[in-house]
Structure 1
């Protein structure tokens, strides 16, 4: 029914009729707004909008406003339709503008709310205390960074700086763009009894990885006698897991126990994660077993916890029991096998992950690439890179660093350099990977050039970088430069040399034939040398035929590792190289009496994406006959080419 008022009605009867028609119009308008409220979906709302237009009610301001509110406020609303409604509205009061700003806030569209706000001001409509909470809470990080200070000025200009909801919005805005000092200033000026504001600050500190500040704020919250909510406890538990603070973790758990607060799934998951990070797996497992409801996060937290504590067997047991798995749970168990040195098994798990239809993310791919690095599995590593490119997996600096490391460990120096050159963003780990990789592949001078560029670019080297630098000097025989860099570690970069750095210096001097100087370095170390450092010296003594120092080094190693068969073998080889056959036979008898044997090493090769491992004399491979036949042919061809192997030490390894 379409109701229109006559243009000229001046009699008392006409006034009565006008009042009647106006009342009827209001009644119809109320009926339509009730019908609009009853709409459950956007399709129903659009159908109702069409009905309003066909019945002549589409231009009614009350109907238009109600339709706009439903588009902007309800779940499943549509801002595109809201914009069309907004553009056709002739009467736009502050409620309408606020509704649109709130709508853009809900969908998180970049800068739309701020643009609309500026348009509102140009149209002469002034904001109220509803405008800024909608506007500030709808910002994303980039938009907040661009206009946070200007919006704060507008809040002060229009006199809303003391409004609690506006203050919360400002705290959220500053924390979003990382200006935690500004957020704290606003927070300190307001009332301290609103737990929501405390949660905003905790969330901001966590977002900026300022976990110490989160802990301090929580303790201050307790002093102010503000009772935490579940959200508060989840946030502080996240900080606990990063800080590995057992005491605070137990303290937070106490709120759940003593106050008889129903923890809920998120809080229980946070407790498991925090206790696991603090190596309190007994408590974490107890919480897990007592849970009435578990989700994939619960299972993943317990699996990850056992992985972190090195209990791979229990981690796998829980993983196999999981009712459902996501990419995070798969990545956790793959990473567990990777940490334990089971590189082939980690790749096999990745194949199972693919078979189950779970799409990997960048963290999974870093684990896969790292496994390929350790195995020298170039073909699988190349496949992983292609997979990342094809499926648009986030190729961030961590992935780039892993690829550089993988290519270097597989001997593909040029490919590693190409990855480095193509990376848009590089961190100190990128530069370190280049320095270490080039050094390990015999490009010592180039590694030192990269180190010089790194210092020029004001990128602070760390102890790993210096391992690469010292290794580069060792491989290129630059003894003086190595000593120089060793001194600069402390004098220029404040890095105290660790055992591995002293080991590099021993290796540098040993390779240069300066075994006496290498021994002096060991004697003057501020920490006790390990068997690896003594082993480096022992190997150098064999090469340079220093039996006296070799015997001393061997004795030191055996004091640390009594059953180390490799030490006896190296000493035997040293005696053989020096022609001391009586000493050699005496040592061999001692080895036989004690039943000491050198553990055989193994080699691996990648063929068609599969890793094959071999030890000396191994015949367990399915193609062993073919392999040995090929080996005999190669040996025959080498002899024809005039090659004579050095067999002076061959029997000593296995006799």
Structure 2
């Protein structure tokens, strides 16, 4: 027992015990202290209740954290920050952003901690409009000069596809740390702007800022997405030779992806075998993805067998493998893989797409019928598809269909991103940029469809994509 029945705990006792429990991440101890809090009558104290919110958040019990928060008779800014941070860290970004509206209704202001958590959620769901509003609020409360707020703003703008605003915030910061530079380099990297990422890296080194592992991850992502094989190899080597940094599985994964996307499978395999993490399924899964691009059945089977051997296979791996068999017209391989998937009762991660209209974020899944304007959305989408076909779009058929599959590689016309595009066209004036975010990689069919409709981090304009179809 952390607290005995004979003790006379006070606010500080409970606060200390909850902080210790938070670090231990112990569910039983958290519940034990919670019981003592109720018996001692401190459940109405906002300091103790805030500690409970943090404690339950740390052990992953978000529902109880929310219940404790909602039952607090009085909440101060620290309580609100704890709840928003709890939701943001749990990936419940829509709920985290909705907390800001509740704060406004209750007349509670915000500070730098609130802004950092909310901006992080904006970045994850591409809520650029709200991010811009929070930027204005940061200026109002005079905390835009904070390194932490500045870094959060850069990350938000970069992930929402507004690199020009990210650069503007960066240039306006009086103080920058390595995280600031990394946010910019990573922003360029994930948008496939490898050349810009390298240029920014050189500027960083010139300013005397020592790069770290995250810096090189951003660089390698940029090189991989833009097909800069030579540059990627040079910076991968530079990582250890000049800065004494040991590559981890993410760096090796980028290199396997870099060589695999370029069709250099010998180098991709060599990179896996020389790595310190050659048994990591991430590397073999990355190789499998490249095999799908080039329809390399032989190597795809090697990668898949390795994933099975490591007992690390998932539904997505089977989907990739069935796609490779389908492209090779290997009916037997296709059927056996589908049978294995069915026998293991595997299900893929659902594909989601988000689009922000005004201050609302709308979320869609494949063949979604849950939106209140669903009928209008489907009517609009059918018209958009018709126009895209006239502009040269040829829908790609797929044999990988059936219950339990995500919307990544289906032959359906109603993938989540298409629904988001249709809704965006319905609810925004002509010429408005539509920013759509996915939790999964966009499928080839939707990529082709969007280019034809002229509507990465893919920036589609005039029938062309910023990735140059190298994605």
> Which bin holds the TM-score, normalised by the shorter protein?
0.7 to 0.9
Q: By how many angstroms is 1:563 displaced?
A: 7.0
1:612 to 340, 359, 362: 362
SS in 1 for 2:219: helix
Question: Which residue in 1 is equivalent to 2:187?
Answer: 437
Structure 1 residues 322 and 487, CA, compared in 2 at 3 Å: closer, same or farther?
same
Q: By how many angstroms is 1:599 displaced?
A: 4.2
For residues 156 and 263 of structure 2, the distance between their equivalents in structure 1, rounded to whole angstroms, comes to: 32
Question: Which residue in 2 is equivalent to 1:409?
Answer: 159
Write 1 or 2 for the structure with the bigger share of helix.
1
Structure 1 residues 267 and 595, CA, compared in 2 at 3 Å: closer, same or farther?
closer
1:274 to 20, 26, 31: 20
Question: Which residue in 2 is equivalent to 1:446?
Answer: 196
Q: 2:104 aligned with 1:358, yes or no? A: no
SS in 2 for 1:464: helix
Q: Is the 8 A contact 1:499 1:529 kept in 2?
A: no
SS in 1 for 2:364: strand
Q: By how many angstroms is 1:635 displaced?
A: 1.4
Greater RCO structure (CA 8 Å; 6+ sep): 2
Q: Is the 8 A contact 2:194 2:222 kept in 1?
A: yes
1:307 to 35, 57, 62: 57
Structure 1 residues 290 and 527, CA, compared in 2 at 3 Å: closer, same or farther?
farther
Q: Deviations over 1:272-316 (max 9, x none)?
A: 323423335446546645656563222212211221232222322
Q: By how many angstroms is 1:477 displaced?
A: 2.3
- 1:477-488 equivalence runs, <5 A: 477-488=227-238
For residues 219 and 256 of structure 2, the distance between their equivalents in structure 1, rounded to whole angstroms, comes to: 14
Gap runs ≥5 in structure 2: 403-408, 412-471
Q: 2:283 aligned with 1:533, yes or no? A: yes
Question: Which residue in 1 is equivalent to 2:254?
Answer: 504
For residues 75 and 293 of structure 2, the distance between their equivalents in structure 1, rounded to whole angstroms, comes to: 54
For residues 630 and 298 of structure 1, the distance between their equivalents in structure 2, rounded to whole angstroms, comes to: 52
Q: Deviations over 1:471-525 (max 9, x none)?
A: 1221232323322322332333232222111111111111121123212222232
Q: Is the 8 A contact 2:256 2:269 kept in 1?
A: yes
TM superposition score normalised by structure 2:
0.77
For residues 324 and 339 of structure 1, the distance between their equivalents in structure 2, rounded to whole angstroms, comes to: 24
Q: Is the 8 A contact 1:518 1:537 kept in 2?
A: yes
2:353 to 603, 606, 618: 603
1:378 to 128, 134, 140: 128
Q: Is the 8 A contact 1:288 1:302 kept in 2?
A: no
Q: Is the 8 A contact 1:413 1:441 kept in 2?
A: no
Structure 1 residues 364 and 525, CA, compared in 2 at 3 Å: closer, same or farther?
same
For residues 308 and 103 of structure 2, the distance between their equivalents in structure 1, rounded to whole angstroms, comes to: 45
Q: Is the 8 A contact 1:598 1:654 kept in 2?
A: no
TM superposition score normalised by structure 1:
0.57
For residues 302 and 316 of structure 2, the distance between their equivalents in structure 1, rounded to whole angstroms, comes to: 15
Q: By how many angstroms is 1:458 displaced?
A: 1.7
The structure that has the greater radius of gyration is 1
| Alignment coverage as a number of residue pairs | 400
Question: Which residue in 2 is equivalent to 1:551?
Answer: 301
Q: Is the 8 A contact 1:506 1:533 kept in 2?
A: yes
Question: Which residue in 1 is equivalent to 2:148?
Answer: 398
For residues 299 and 600 of structure 1, the distance between their equivalents in structure 2, rounded to whole angstroms, comes to: 35
1:524 to 260, 274, 277: 274
For residues 611 and 355 of structure 1, the distance between their equivalents in structure 2, rounded to whole angstroms, comes to: 19
RMSD: 2.7
Q: By how many angstroms is 1:528 displaced?
A: 5.0
Q: Is the 8 A contact 2:151 2:179 kept in 1?
A: yes
